[in-house]
Amino acid sequence: MSPADLYRHSLRLLLDKDIAGWTGLWAEDGVMEFPFAPEGWPRRLEGKAAVAGYMRHYPDHIDLHDFPDVRVHRTAEPDTIVVEMRGVGRLVRTGAPFEMTYIAVVTVRDGRIVMYRDYWNPLAVQEQPGMDFAGAAR
């Protein structure tokens, strides 16, 4: 499976709220980074178990409905892609609409995610009532 196909499959798993399946796409030594994470929030998760722990309760906070406008860009490195996308849904606790724009740089090795840099905008969550910087409902 190409990095782009793997990534699109990962989005389907998130929409299905299959967090175990989503983390199953990760290499044991995979790393997830959040370069724009605000103070007090993780900037780097090392290992599949850390990523799984971080994502474990995601569906309890955000009910994703769609990822419209997914654009996958190839890079000079065949195992690395850059993805532009928008996630839409609702905040579970309040029922308020959720919308977030993301840019991700993802590297795949042997069919598993080994590096995922998530360039989400922490300032955007301030505009969404009932949500904090980790994407969890207040």
In the chain, how many H helices and how many E strands?
Answer: 4, 7
Domain that holds residue 105: 3-127
114 occurs within a structural domain? yes
Whole-prediction pTM value?
0.88
For residues 92 and 17, what is the distance between their CA atoms, to the nearest angstrom? 13
The pLDDT tens digits for 2-34 are 999 999 999 999 999 999 999 999 999 999 999
The pLDDT tens digits for 55-104 are 999 999 889 999 999 999 999 999 999 999 999 999 888 898 989 999 99
CATH number (domain holding residue 105) = 3.10.450.50
